[in-house]
Each structure stands twice: as structure tokens, then as C-alpha cells.
């Protein structure tokens, strides 16, 4: 039986971060590791999930922590997906920022992704009164 340990920290090695981000094909981040490390360090909150010494998941939050947060990254190594790791990371963030009015995230549209976020109380902006815009370089 595996035991996952969750830690609120920003202390991850470059090797661990690269392995995690690459494992879910987020290589746009790992092409510029100094920038990713700086982004992690400047995040409002970073919570990591560990199985022994292996980084298996991470969630990071940016924003002011008072009126708005953006869940910037939530990722879990494939072997650990659908085992509650992502849900626990998200629950920890939502509990930490329970009194913050706006909790925003932008993600790829796929049926399993929608189910995951809707299960945790998020509503897609394409199904309500809100609209969302994004601009990428």
C-alpha cells in the first residue's frame, strides 16, 4: 500500500520538477527550466505530493490570496492518476482559500478533465453566465 505525503512548500529540485512536468507532457514548461523554477518560487502556494522520495504530484496557485486565486498547475504522474492524489491536492488548495471569492483555472477541454473539476464544484464558463478569455504567446 502506498502512502502519499503532502507538503506545502516550494522546495523541489530541478530534476524532480522536470521529471514531473515531462511525465504529463508539459514540455513547454521544461524547455526553460530557470523560468519554471522562478515561477514555482514566486507562486502564492505550492503543494507537492510525494511517494517516499518521488515527486508524484503538484499544485500551484497564483493570485492575491484575498479576492482571487488562479490554480495555475495541477499535475500528477500518470501511474498515480485516478488514485485521489489530484483530488487531495485540489481539496487542500480549496480549503486554504475557502474565503476567496474567485477561484479560477484554465485547462484543456476533455471529458475526463471536465468531470474532475465539476466533481470539485467548478463550473465551465461555456455553460453559464460567465465568459473566459485567454491570450497565449
Query: What are the domain boundaries of the chain?
Result: 4-122
Of all residues in the chain, what percent carry a pLDDT higher than 70?
95
Q: Determine which helix (DSSP H) or strand (DSSP E) holds 21, and give its type and residue range.
A: helix 14-23
Strands of the sheet with 102-104, listed across from one edge: 4-8, 45-51, 54-63, 68-76, 102-104
pLDDT tens readout for residues 9-57: 878 899 999 999 999 998 999 999 999 999 999 999 999 999 999 999 9
4-122: in CATH 3.40.140.10? no
Could you count the other beta carbons within 10 Å of the beta carbon of residue 62? 17
Amino acid at each position: 500500500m502506498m502512502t502519499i505525503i503532502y507538503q506545502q512548500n516550494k522546495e523541489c529540485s530541478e530534476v524532480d520538477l522536470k521529471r514531473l512536468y515531462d511525465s504529463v507532457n508539459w514540455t513547454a514548461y521544461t524547455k526553460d527550466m530557470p523560468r519554471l523554477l522562478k515561477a514555482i518560487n514566486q507562486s502564492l502556494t505550492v503543494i507537492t505530493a510525494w511517494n517516499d522520495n518521488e515527486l508524484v504530484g503538484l499544485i500551484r496557485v497564483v493570485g492575491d490570496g484575498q479576492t482571487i486565486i488562479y490554480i495555475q498547475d495541477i499535475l500528477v504522474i500518470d501511474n498515480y492518476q485516478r488514485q485521489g492524489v489530484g483530488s487531495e491536492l485540489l481539496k487542500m488548495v480549496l480549503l486554504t482559500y475557502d474565503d476567496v471569492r474567485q477561484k479560477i483555472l484554465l485547462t484543456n477541454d476533455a471529458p475526463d478533465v471536465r468531470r474532475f473539476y465539476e466533481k470539485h464544484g467548478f463550473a465551465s464558463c461555456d455553460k453559464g453566465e460567465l465568459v473566459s478569455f485567454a491570450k497565449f504567446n
